[in-house]
Structure 1
């Protein structure tokens, strides 16, 4: 039987047992530095980075521990981790964080319990070349942030505004945009499901509806056959009487 996919949202991923990695690219780091989404910040603090253990943050055995520490705001703690110089999104050293290149991240997805945020333009090609059909069917996509809109910035009342607008519309209408999109973006690998022997359970409950339909079809066919025979005999007698 096919395993149910329970991770459908970013919050489900945060509360799962999977480790999470990010493609090391500028706009991903910029997103975490400027986002106000609490789920994204929690994801980074709990899954993407790991705070290094040093002598400064280790508790002294002789020092008494306060059993009732002051309550802290978790959102602020997550935000501090994201903006930390050691493990934050702008830290140059990614040893303590899961900032990976697409090949390494997807390799961990294939062999580990690992989730990897990556641009599909790079991911689909690697998945199609290195993943098996069963591995492809086991994958689940979760969107971290919606696609960002891009605009053309120009001077106010610029005479080039209409020229650029017309050019962009022509590029879209003539199919040039779709052509280059297909060239630079690989198609999503299809999931080809194979029928396993464990999935084949045939019993009376499974085939009872088919048998009922078959019996009903037989009865309906016999009824039509009888009607045709009676009509043929009636027509034959009518011809004899007329003659």
Structure 2
């Protein structure tokens, strides 16, 4: 082959084409004389191209490059299609830019139908037409498609003329799309279930993202083959199940539900684009008194003050008993009388002691003065504790664990998986102490009903919880609701197989929806905002419930039971004493008769 003729025929087009594609590295598949290849490399180097040559029949494979690599192939060479086997299995990835010269366009297309030249491939055929070269891009919209989409991207005639083309139209291609639906579907088909709006169960954006998928298929002219799966994808028996497993095995093209970011999934799949965040948290009605209800009556005074009151009680009772025994002005001078007097004085209940001695009167006066002062302060502190708005002192996960509240979580697989994987000591502690026991995983409806009843903290998706709160909680219960996150709000993302040809379509389409405000609109339609606490006269009115009053009833019951037990003991004691006395009298009578 004449070298000058070769340069005139091919080289200007090669230089212009690879400049347009920004590929500085070029591999030449040659069937030419070595002199032509060497001179061609010299000419390419003048335009700052780095080139190398490879024989068509070489058996060693090339590696996947990070930079773009231009590949030059001429179908006039015998066995030209063997060049494709040197790049398996990624010979038509976007990094490789193919320029194929041919004189028989139809025959070349027919031979290349056996190769996976997909949307993300960059394959251009230069077909000689009279004095110029027509440039055609070829690709398939899917693996099972039996024909190429052929776009005329321009021509070369002493210069490169490029037509504007795109690959957004997928020509009705059907993508396999697994959607996570863990709950049971009753009395309707899968398609009807997805078509109906169910905001009350749209945790982690399942249905909201399905709306996005419907917009995407209209944008790019494709359809879905929907596949129902029960799990987002977790390692079971050494491999992933659910949606991640389907994508990993190549049984699906795009994830129909968004996922949390996890490193083990990122090793196998590509996170394409973020969508919405999801926020999981513990929701509970903050108790008025985080401690026990007995603490309502002990909290107003410190431990030192209680010790002083007990000491005063003992000293006053002892002094009163000593004084009564010393001056015996009263028929009853027992220690129990002195004890009851001191107790009644502290409880603001009078107990008459008829005594004319000055020491007794002074002791009674000082005891009542002290008890009145103490009683006024204690009574005011207890009343204010019961009626004032409770302080919000359960603020962290550790506070929630130490509190007397019971706890549970939504019965979904990703919550259980979190507890298995987490290293957070606070999360592990609350799970082991309050959630791990049987029966503490509930549906959102059951869990929020327990929250409404009080004394229960439920871990749930906030979007689902807010909708239930708006429908079932009163204004006062909404104002008492408090939230503690177990972990920070999580970003959700769309997943696809590694090197998927549809990655650009999904990423571009969702970003365009973000810019147009469509995703924000979907979020306002599907996501329930947090119910606002509206302060009015009804929910400001604070009443004392039976739970706060229960300790007084317990004390009363304990006193009554104790009194009955003591009474029974006294009756038994009285009967025993009477029987002993009667036996003694009978014995004396018998002894008297015997005399």
Q: Shift in Å at residue 157 of structure 1?
A: 5.2
**CA separation in 2, counterparts of 1:101 and 1:173?**
36
- In the other structure, the counterpart of 1:53 is none
Q: Does 1:26 align with 2:416?
A: no
Please state whether the residue corresponding to 1:149 is helix, strand or coil. Answer: strand
Q: Does 1:149 align with 2:536?
A: no
**CA separation in 2, counterparts of 1:161 and 1:143?**
33
Q: Tell me the matched-pair count.
A: 153
Please state whether the residue corresponding to 2:493 is helix, strand or coil. Answer: coil
Higher relative contact order, chain-length normalized (CA < 8 Å, sep 6+): 1
**CA separation in 2, counterparts of 1:34 and 1:167?**
34
Say which one has the larger Rg. 2
- In the other structure, the counterpart of 1:194 is 536
Over the aligned positions, Cα root-mean-square deviation in angstroms equals 1.9
- In the other structure, the counterpart of 2:147 is none
The answer to which structure has the higher strand fraction is 2
**CA separation in 1, counterparts of 2:517 and 2:434?**
41
Q: Shift in Å at residue 164 of structure 1?
A: 2.5
Please state whether the residue corresponding to 2:534 is helix, strand or coil. Answer: coil
1:1-243 residue pairs with structure 2 within 5 A?
Answer: 1-50=388-437, 96-154=438-496, 158-195=500-537, 196=540
- In the other structure, the counterpart of 1:215 is none
**CA separation in 2, counterparts of 1:190 and 1:129?**
13
Q: CA, structure 1 residues 106+197, in 2 after alignment: closer, same or farther (shift >3 Å)?
A: closer
**CA separation in 1, counterparts of 2:444 and 2:485?**
17
**CA separation in 2, counterparts of 1:152 and 1:10?**
30
Q: Shift in Å at residue 20 of structure 1?
A: 0.3
Q: Shift in Å at residue 155 of structure 1?
A: 5.0
**CA separation in 1, counterparts of 2:455 and 2:411?**
20
Q: Shift in Å at residue 136 of structure 1?
A: 0.3
Please state whether the residue corresponding to 1:172 is helix, strand or coil. Answer: helix
Q: Shift in Å at residue 33 of structure 1?
A: 1.3
TM-score by length of 2: 0.25
**CA separation in 2, counterparts of 1:155 and 1:113?**
46
Q: Shift in Å at residue 173 of structure 1?
A: 1.2
Cα displacement string for residues 28-48 of structure 1 (whole angstroms, at most 9, x for unaligned residues): 111111111111111011111
Please state whether the residue corresponding to 2:484 is helix, strand or coil. Answer: coil
Cα displacement string for residues 111-146 of structure 1 (whole angstroms, at most 9, x for unaligned residues): 130101111121111101111101000010111112
The answer to which structure has the higher helix fraction is 1
Q: CA, structure 1 residues 109+153, in 2 after alignment: closer, same or farther (shift >3 Å)?
A: closer
Q: CA, structure 1 residues 151+186, in 2 after alignment: closer, same or farther (shift >3 Å)?
A: closer
**CA separation in 2, counterparts of 1:150 and 1:185?**
15
